[in-house]
Chain A
Amino acid sequence: MTVAVDTRLSFDDVSMTFPDGTEALRHVSFGVGRGEFVTVVGPSGCGKSTLLRIASGLEQQTDGAVDVDRGDLGYVFQDATLLQWRTVEGNVALLAELDGMSRGERARRVAENVSLVGLDGFADKYPRQLSGGMRMRASLARSLVMDPAIFLFDEPFGALDEITRERLNDELLSLFQRNGFGALFITHSISEAVFLSTRVLVMSARPGRIVGTHDIPFSSPRPPELRFDAAFAELCGEVSTSLRSAHQ
């Protein structure tokens, strides 16, 4: 296992059993270092989301230790979770507002990040006026405003069409490489995992255990064409194989 030098998030032998007796995670250990993009793939209901909920503090693990600075954490949910009554601008400003960031600083960062995620000209639109992809952009901008060291992504692009998903993957990747953010990313899509990550973790069916670790050696920047590379296909195949064995 790779030991990251500058670890931003670490799970040490974490297990989780819900009050109703459902065992979600068993002895999970891994770390996410600065600038590392770690993706977890696994069958539905294997406890992937529980992993993020524990990392963020929304759930408390029953055993083991989690080390992370929770004030320095961004969480991008499965659906955009925008507030319907706020415009894009208002939504992007939300977390900063709840944290009591000064008005001037907030306005500056909101404008900067709305622009960064490509929503120029949509600042005064309401969520219902946006496409699914644009909502996810707004959701991402909302977390970016806080400039966290590490992002948690819970299948953020799962509901989007293939083309939108790939475009957002491209943009997300270049954004993360530029800023050195760390990420713990959950997805069902193997190619998305391989394309984005520096490391892919494969999780077994419930109770979730990490049954495979695949380092993804591609250097950055990664061009969109990488997806058609033979080496890329081979890695996808490896992940897929270990995922299939995890199902059994």
Chain B
Amino acid sequence: MNMLDTPLGQGEAIIATQTVAPATTARRRRGRIDIVGPLLVFAAFIGIWYLMHHWALRAIWDKPNFLVPTPHDVVRTAFFTNENRATLVGGLRVTATVAFLGLAIAIVVGIGLATLMARRQWLERSMWPYLVALQAIPILALVPLIGSIWGYGLSARTLVCVISLFPIVANTLFGLLSADKGQHDLFTLRGVSPSTRLWKLQFPAALPAIFAGFRIAAGLSVIGAIVGELFFKRGDKGIGILLDTFRNRNNYPMAYGALIVAALLGIVVFVIFGLISRLVVGKWHESTRS
């Protein structure tokens, strides 16, 4: 029980007194699994990758093994050759710009729309089916049509990222309506204006849900940007275009390199929004674990 002697704030002490000992061991064990577990999975993944190259591709599917170059070949070619790395970084910049722009627009429009829908029930009822429909449209089917009208430039590609609108609207709306009845009564008793209610009650209550929406939307936005490029195949050379070009030229190490960059972009965006979320609502919200 001497663990209780460690200095704790008064408030923490209340929570900690009963649970300190088991929690610490549990946390230590969990800490080890958190590191060792993912490392093992990564090692297995790399192992299978090598197995594909050296054996499976030929033995099972009767294909040439250059279709899946070895991991070290991919890393050396794509990231340790200055010229190639510069190409990929250039592509990353183009794709990231489109994805962030699309996301920013989706955030502004999405939060605005959700706020209006939370205020006016008829608007919510009228808009909801179409937002669901928007989400249900396969984005691949939409891309060529967008291209034929608005061309293949930045604005058309950004438009593809509207697929990230739905999770933002849905989560913001859900969040705005999540404040409990008692809290609403409290505000009603003081006779507050609708905007005070929105700013001091509904919006803060919605923050955890809004950030959850951002994270989903950010991932979709990156996918939208890359899918747009894969289809348009014209304009600035983003990751999607590079991926397609390298595959056509049978330059598989670079194609896989582009794939890794695209994945990293998605992961980074997800992590960044997770961190922002933790920073803003982590102190008071219970479930801010990513």
Report whether chain A binds chain B.
Answer: yes
What number of A residues sit within 8 Å (CB to CB) of B? 27
- The residue on B at minimum CB distance from A131 is B14
**A186 shortest CB reach to chain B, Å:** 14
**A233 shortest CB reach to chain B, Å:** 35
Q: Is B52 an interface residue (CB 8 A)?
A: no
Contact assessment for A128 and B286 in the assembled complex, using a CB-CB cutoff below 8 Å? yes
**A156 shortest CB reach to chain B, Å:** 12
- The residue on A at minimum CB distance from B200 is A98
- The residue on B at minimum CB distance from A100 is B190
Q: Is A219 an interface residue (CB 8 A)?
A: no
Q: Is B285 an interface residue (CB 8 A)?
A: yes
- The residue on A at minimum CB distance from B201 is A83
Measured between alpha carbons, how far is A77 from B207 in the docked complex, in Å? 24
**A188 shortest CB reach to chain B, Å:** 18
Contact assessment for B190 and A98 in the assembled complex, using a CB-CB cutoff below 8 Å? yes
Q: Is B182 an interface residue (CB 8 A)?
A: yes
B11's contact among A81, A86, A122, by CB below 8 Å, is which? A122
Measured between alpha carbons, how far is A131 from B201 in the docked complex, in Å? 23
Q: Is A95 an interface residue (CB 8 A)?
A: yes
Chain B residues whose C-beta falls within 8 Å of the C-beta of A83 in the assembled complex = 183, 201, 204-205
A81's contact among B10, B14, B186, B200, by CB below 8 Å, is which? B186
Q: Is the interface of B mostly helix, strand, loop or mixed?
A: helix
Chain B residues whose C-beta falls within 8 Å of the C-beta of A129 in the assembled complex = 11-12, 14-15
Contact assessment for A81 and B189 in the assembled complex, using a CB-CB cutoff below 8 Å? no
Measured between alpha carbons, how far is A79 from B181 in the docked complex, in Å? 11
Chain A residues whose C-beta falls within 8 Å of the C-beta of B188 in the assembled complex = 58
Contact assessment for B182 and A84 in the assembled complex, using a CB-CB cutoff below 8 Å? no
Near A by CB (< 8 A), chain B positions 172-200 give 180, 182-183, 185-190, 192, 196, 200
Measured between alpha carbons, how far is A37 from B271 in the docked complex, in Å? 55
Near B by CB (< 8 A), chain A positions 21-67 give 56-58
Contact assessment for B284 and A126 in the assembled complex, using a CB-CB cutoff below 8 Å? yes
Given A81-B182, A85-B204, A122-B11: A57 touches B285 (CB 8 Å cut-off): no
Interface size class of B (residues with CB under 8 A): 20 to 34
Fill in one digit per residue for A190-225: 1 if any B CB lies within 8 Å of its CB, else 0.
000000000000000000000000000000000000
Chain B residues whose C-beta falls within 8 Å of the C-beta of A153 in the assembled complex = none
**B138 shortest CB reach to chain A, Å:** 38
- The residue on B at minimum CB distance from A98 is B190
Contact assessment for A95 and B207 in the assembled complex, using a CB-CB cutoff below 8 Å? no
Measured between alpha carbons, how far is A77 from B190 in the docked complex, in Å? 14
Measured between alpha carbons, how far is A9 from B289 in the docked complex, in Å? 49
Chain B residues whose C-beta falls within 8 Å of the C-beta of A56 in the assembled complex = 189
Fill in one digit per residue for A96-139: 1 if any B CB lies within 8 Å of its CB, else 0.
01110000000000000000000001100111111100000000
**A53 shortest CB reach to chain B, Å:** 8
Near A by CB (< 8 A), chain B positions 223-269 give none
Given A84-B284, A127-B284: A58 touches B183 (CB 8 Å cut-off): no
Contact assessment for B200 and A126 in the assembled complex, using a CB-CB cutoff below 8 Å? no
Chain B residues whose C-beta falls within 8 Å of the C-beta of A86 in the assembled complex = 284
B185's contact among A58, A122, A128, by CB below 8 Å, is which? A58
Chain B residues whose C-beta falls within 8 Å of the C-beta of A121 in the assembled complex = 10-11
What are 22 residue pairs bridging A and B, where the CB atoms are less than 8 Å apart in the complex? A56-B189, A58-B188, A73-B189, A75-B185, A77-B185, A81-B182, A81-B185, A81-B186, A83-B201, A85-B204, A85-B284, A85-B285, A94-B186, A95-B186, A95-B190, A98-B196, A121-B10, A122-B10, A126-B283, A129-B12, A130-B11, A130-B14
Residues on A lying within 8 angstroms of B by beta carbon are 56-58, 73, 75, 77-79, 81, 83-86, 94-95, 97-99, 121-122, 125-131
Going nearest first, the 10 A-B pairs with the smallest beta carbon separation are A81-B182, A98-B190, A126-B284, A125-B11, A85-B204, A77-B182, A85-B284, A121-B10, A129-B11, A84-B284
